[in-house]
Amino acid sequence: MSEILTALGDILEQRKGASPDSSYVASLYHKGLNKILEKVGEEATETILAAKDAERSGDNSDVIYETADLWFHSLVALAQLGERPEAVLNELARRFDISGLEEKASRSAQ
Ligand SMILES: N=c1c2ncn([C@@H]3O[C@H](COP(=O)(O)OP(=O)(O)OP(=O)(O)O)[C@@H](O)[C@H]3O)c2ncn1[C@@H]1O[C@H](COP(=O)(O)O)[C@@H](O)[C@H]1O
């Protein structure tokens, strides 16, 4: 799965040199960070609404679709700031390592 994020990160970097009419990502870069963050906010709201609908209906397809939009726009915001998707994966891995170590320590103290 991380290969998909790496490939998407590469495309997001390539779009930095593209003309705004040639691609959605290039058009977002051209509009600037505030517009990208506005999209992150919109997609977060749409994800929340879709999650509440999913809870009622039992159908998760819309919340998965909206979460993909949210992740995508968050990665565009990070790319605009000069960060790649791997930075987020590394942070998640770091937290996983810490909690894994804490769990091991609490087990050996028992
Ligand atoms: N993953 C995505 C992706 N997810 C969502 N979107 C776009 O994000 C937008 C979602 O916003 P909305 O639903 O609000 O739609 P909208 O009304 O068109 O947006 P606004 O006019 O309000 O800004 C849609 O235009 C989607 O097409 C994406 N656009 C691109 N990608 C990836 O980015 C790559 C590069 O895309 P381009 O720059 O378009 O070549 C693609 O190959 C994909 O892998």
For residue 47, report the distance from its CA to the centre of ligand 1, in Å: 15
Please tell me the predicted confidence (pLDDT) of residue 92. 94
Please tell me the predicted confidence (pLDDT) of residue 77. 98
**Ligand 1 atom with minimal separation from the 35 CA:** 23
Please tell me the predicted confidence (pLDDT) of residue 98. 74
Please tell me the predicted confidence (pLDDT) of residue 99. 72
List ligand 1's pocket residues with C-beta within 6 A.
8, 11, 15, 23-26, 39, 69, 72
pTM of the model: 0.90
Please tell me the predicted confidence (pLDDT) of residue 102. 66
Q: Rounded CA gap, 18 and 78, in Å?
A: 18
Both tokens of 26, joined, read 């290039």
- Token pair 């517009």 is found at 35
ipTM of the complex: 0.91
Q: Atom 25 of ligand 1 has which residue's CA nearest to it? A: 24
Question: What's phi and psi for 33, nearest 5 deg?
Answer: -60, -40
Beta carbons within 8 Å of 66's beta carbon, 6+ residues apart:
43, 46, 47, 49, 50
Tens digits of pLDDT across the chain (110 residues): 789 999 999 999 999 989 999 999 999 999 999 999 999 999 999 999 999 999 999 999 999 999 999 999 999 999 999 999 999 999 999 998 877 766 666 776 66
Q: Rounded CA gap, 78 and 104, in Å?
A: 33
